[in-house]
Structure 1
C-alpha cells in the first residue's frame, strides 16, 4: 500500500485564496480582452465566493443545532 505524502500548510485556506486572487487579478489586468482573461476572471470570482463562504462558515453567529 502506498503511503500518502503529508505536509502541514503554513498558510490558512483564506490566506492562500486571497494571495492567489490578488496574483490572478494582476495577471488578468495585463491580458487583452478575450477568453483567457474571461476564464481567469471567472476563477477569481469563484475563489472570492469560496473565501466568503469560508468566512461565513467560521463566523461566531452560526450556532450548531440543539
Structure 2
C-alpha cells in the first residue's frame, strides 16, 4: 500500500500536536487530567509519530 509523504507528514503533525497539547495540559494542572497518565499518553503519540517518520523515510529510500 502506498501512502504519500504529504499524508504521513499530516498524520505525524497531528499526532505531535495532540501530544504537545496533552503535555501542556498535564503541566498546567488542568482539572480532571492525571498528569502522569496524560504525559505518558503524549509520549506514546510522539513516539508513534517518530516511528511513522522512520518508516516513511525507509520506504522512500527503498529499504522496505
Tell me, yes or no, whether TM beats 0.5: yes
Partner of 2:23: 25
Distance change (3 Å), C-alpha of 1:28 and 1:63: same
Unaligned runs of 5+ in 2: 1-6
Q: Shift of the alpha carbon at 1:45? A: 0.9
* 4+ residue segments displaced more than 4 Å: none
Partner of 1:14: 12
Q: Under a length normalisation based on structure 1, what TM-score does the superposition of the two structures give?
A: 0.65
Flag the structure with more relative contact order, 1 or 2, with Cα contacts below 8 A and sequence separation at least 6. 2
User: Considering only CA atoms, is the larger Rg found in Structure 1 or Structure 2?
Assistant: 1
Across the aligned residues of Structure 1 and Structure 2, the Cα RMSD in angstroms comes to 2.5
Q: Under a length normalisation based on structure 2, what TM-score does the superposition of the two structures give?
A: 0.67
Unaligned runs of 5+ in 1: 1-8
